[in-house]
Amino acid sequence: GQSLEQPSEVTAVEGAIVQINCTYQTSGFYGLSWYQQHDGGAPTFLSYNALDGLEETGRFSSFLSRSDSYGYLLLQELQMKDSASYFCAVQRRRAGSYQLTFGKGTKLSVIP
């Protein structure tokens, strides 16, 4: 089987830095993605890691350690608009193609 674990809720102060962790167990692992979803909105892509290390995109960074089956999303200079749910998703190879499986999500609340 497969599983993804991420905290259900995180609260952080505006302007601060927050890290959302994700651990996974799956066969055929290929990469780890992160998606953001505001309440009532569509999930939107943030980042993707296929190799170990850190990927930086503006205020958001994502890290992957394949040997530890672990990744995280780092949000810097938090803004109120960053309040949303964040999903890690594993990409795995299945039946000759690639499948994305989402975690349950972490609800981030940014407070003044």
Partner 1 sequence: EAGVVQSPRYKIIEKKQPVAFWCNPISGHNTLYWYLQNLGQGPELLIRYENEEAVDDSQLPKDRFSAERLKGVDSTLKIQPAELGDSAVYLCASSLAGGSSYNEQFFGPGTRLTVL
For 65, residues 6+ apart whose C-beta sits below 8 A from its C-beta are 52, 71
Determine the Cα–Cα distance for residues 33 and 46; give it in Å rounded to an integer. Answer: 7
Q: Are 35 and 6 in contact (CB under 8 A)?
A: no
The span of 19-27, 51-59, 64-72, 85-93 binding partner 1 (CB under 8 A) equals: 85-93
Helix ranges restricted to H, the chain: none
Q: Which of positions 18-77 make contact with partner 1 (CB under 8 A)?
A: 30-31, 33, 41-45, 48, 50
The span of 19-27, 58-66, 67-75, 90-98 binding partner 1 (CB under 8 A) equals: 90-98
Contacts with partner 1 by CB under 8 A lie at 30-31, 33, 41-45, 48, 50, 87, 89, 91, 94-105
